[in-house]
Amino acid sequence: MRHFAGLKLDRLPDETTILNFRHFLEQHGLGKALFKEVNKHLEKKA
């Protein structure tokens, strides 16, 4: 998974941490804004 994602971390967050982060984004309406910024970054790299 780390190789696929290009991550070079000693530890990755566990499932609960990732799910809590996802719920935080949803509760505060940040998901769309985050993906919009990610897409802008990816477009610049293409």
Q: What is the pLDDT of residue 13?
A: 83
29: left (phi over 0), alpha (psi -120 to 50) or beta: left
Q: How many structural domains does the chain have? A: 1
Q: Domain containing 27: what range? A: 14-45
- pTM given for the model: 0.56
- 30 domain residue, yes or no: yes
pLDDT digits (tens, 9 = 90+) for 19-36: 999 999 999 999 899 899
Contact 20, 13 (CB under 8 A): no
Q: What is the pLDDT of residue 1?
A: 61
- 21 domain residue, yes or no: yes
**Any idea how long the chain is?**
46
CB atoms inside a 10 Å sphere around CB 27: 9
For residue 10, the one-letter residue type is D
